[in-house]
Amino acid sequence: MSVHVIGAGLAGLAAACLLTESGRHVIVSESAPAAGGRARSYFDKILDCRVDNGNHLLLSGNLAALNYLNRLGARRALTGPASAVFPFYDFTTSRHWTLRLNDGRFPWWVLRRRHRVPGTRALDYLALNRLRRARPHDILGTILPRNNPLTRNFLEPLAISALNTMPDEAACGPLQAVLEETMALGGAASLPRYARIGLSETFIDPAVDWLRTHGATLHFGRRVTVLDANMPTILAVPPWVAAELVPGLVVPDQFESICNLHFKASIPPGEAGFWGFTGGLSEWAFARPELLSVTISAANRYAALDNAEIAARVWAELGQAFTLPAAIPAHRVLWERRATILGTPEQQTRRPRAITANPNLVLAGDWTDTGLPATIEGAIRSGNEAATILMKLPE
């Protein structure tokens, strides 16, 4: 019997690939005209080039994501620096600085002043142990040291981008999981990685091609409105859609937005190809050949600002950090209003397991109970888990 995968975001695509590889015939139904969900590229008329719906950063410890790309033969579509370098610019001090992790497990970088966060001492990094020992539902903001340069310049920006939630309401658990699989293993597991060309070219188009080549059936523009309880199905849709399709299913119901700004401008890529920022509105900037793309995470706090004001402020900040013309170039401000679930302890308790009361129906998606924040790694891992569960059903 064919297996149905509903939703062709990363969770659905990962599940479809694993099932197809195991010899099952897979039918993918996606409501949008193309695959990708919240990780997609498209042609932007104002900018006259392809853009991503938002900058996406992975780390080399995101093994499920890397294995997914390996299966598709698309690993080289990711790029990034050869060592774990994170260049930053602080708008309040007008200073560039770079965090440099050493490859191995023992964090020698903490002992080297020029490798660690400015203004910190080696002993400050014991705060990371406190974070590792915190209970998963503890609020991050109560665990991070206050009025401390390590918190302000590194732990907070890291937490906001990884959790897409402000530390004063975020649960510690998902950040602990990220740190255990990356920084705690050393620089080799913390290499920053991002799409060389675009998200669709890296994560989505190779999967669609691979699935077609291996005999799967894909339908785009097909919105599923009812489930057949007797069909083996992986439901890989956003939580609010899953709740409509599965009566009684408890799902996360609070979300955080991400704002991305693409400017038709270029800067030299520097050592890493991206920068982190502190003390301003902008949080991360990626230098593309034709585009300068800025991310602002946990952006609900800026919902009252209009796009023109955000663009002007971000452009002024970029002008402080880099040599750029004063006049704002062609640009696009993109809001993903429900970019991810809100990472509060209460929302964590609403993340369902993959299995449901019906053995034929399995859930996938970055919002399910993966233990990780809502990320590419979490989405792919959830798809893998859902496929593994369904593969145990008799054919």
Ligand X SMILES: Cc1cc2nc3c(=O)[nH]c(=O)nc-3n(C[C@H](O)[C@H](O)[C@H](O)COP(=O)(O)OP(=O)(O)OC[C@H]3O[C@@H](n4cnc5c(N)ncnc54)[C@H](O)[C@@H]3O)c2cc1C
- 179 touching ligand X, by CB under 6 A: no
Tell me which of 173, 362, 365, 389 binds ligand X, using CB under 6 A. 365
- 54 touching ligand X, by CB under 6 A: yes
Q: Name the residue type at position 64.
A: A
Report the site for ligand X in 309-348 (rule: CB under 6 A): 336, 339-340
Tell me which of 3, 5, 6, 69 binds ligand X, using CB under 6 A. 6
Percent helix, strand and coil across the chain, each to the nearest 5: 35, 20, 45
Tell me which of 3, 5, 8, 18 binds ligand X, using CB under 6 A. 8
CB contact at 8 A, 48 and 68? no
- 386 touching ligand X, by CB under 6 A: no
Strand order in the sheet with 233-235: 217-220, 26-30, 3-6, 233-235, 361-363
Rounded distance, CA 166 to CA 343, Å? 8
CB contact at 8 A, 234 and 15? yes
CB contact at 8 A, 194 and 56? yes
- 17 touching ligand X, by CB under 6 A: no
Stretch that binds ligand X, among 2-10, 74-82, 143-151, 351-359 (CB under 6 A): 2-10
- 10 touching ligand X, by CB under 6 A: yes
Q: Name the residue type at position 375.
A: T
CB of 32 to ligand X, least distance (A): 4
Rounded distance, CA 236 to CA 13, Å? 9
- 149 touching ligand X, by CB under 6 A: no
Residue 42 phi, psi dihedral angles, 5° rounding: -155, 165
- 44 touching ligand X, by CB under 6 A: no
- 384 touching ligand X, by CB under 6 A: no
- 57 touching ligand X, by CB under 6 A: yes
- 32 touching ligand X, by CB under 6 A: yes
- 166 touching ligand X, by CB under 6 A: no
Residue ranges with strand state E in the chain: 3-6, 26-30, 41-44, 49-52, 58-59, 78-79, 84-90, 95-101, 192-195, 217-220, 233-235, 255-263, 274-278, 284-287, 292-296, 331-341, 361-363
Site for ligand X (CB under 6 A): how many residues? 37
Tell me which of 236, 296, 341, 342 binds ligand X, using CB under 6 A. 236
Q: Which is nearer to ligand X, 10 or 160 (CB)?
A: 10
Enter the tokens of residue 254: 């609070």
Report the site for ligand X in 194-233 (rule: CB under 6 A): 223-224
Q: Name the residue type at position 337.
A: R
- 361 touching ligand X, by CB under 6 A: no
Stretch that binds ligand X, among 37-45, 169-177, 183-191, 354-362 (CB under 6 A): 37-45
Contacts with ligand X by CB under 6 A lie at 6-12, 29-32, 37-39, 53-54, 56-58, 223-224, 236-238, 241, 258, 260, 336, 339-340, 365-366, 374-377, 379
